Amino acid sequence: MSSQEAQELLAATLADLRGRAYDQLRGLLHRIDTSQVTGPSGTRYRIDTLAIEVEHQRGWLHVVVMVGRSDAPGSGSDAATPDADELTGSFIVAPDDSLADE
């Protein structure tokens, strides 16, 4: 897996999700959205996205993205526990569409 390529995919996915409305991100609750993409190098990647409710902030969502090679051993077996080769990024969004880290 190309670390730089995977980092770029992670950054692009997070940027896309940050631009979405809260109501769209709520659709990621209680499920894992998985997509497969091929990077410029020809490497196939799996991108898993999910949202978790933040316990101490009513209605806030913690959106998590994991990027890993789609042909890695165990890929797709349990997206809630990333493999050692997977990259993970996240952000927190409030019901008013504001982001916790901005």
Q: Is the pTM of this model over 0.85?
A: no
Model confidence pLDDT, tens digit, residues 19-77: 999 999 999 998 999 999 999 999 999 999 999 998 777 889 999 999 998 876 554 44
Topology at the third CATH level for domain 3-93: Pantoate--beta-alanine Ligase; Chain: A,domain 2 (3.30.1300)
CA distances from 1 to 45, 49, 68 (A): 9, 19, 8
* 61 and 99 Cβ atoms separated by less than 8 Å: no
**Is a pLDDT exceeding 70 seen at residue 92?**
yes
For the chain, the structural domain boundaries read: 3-93
Which residue from 73, 68, 101 is spatially nearest to 85, judged by alpha carbons?
68
The residues that bridge with 62 in the sheet, in sequence order, are 52, 92
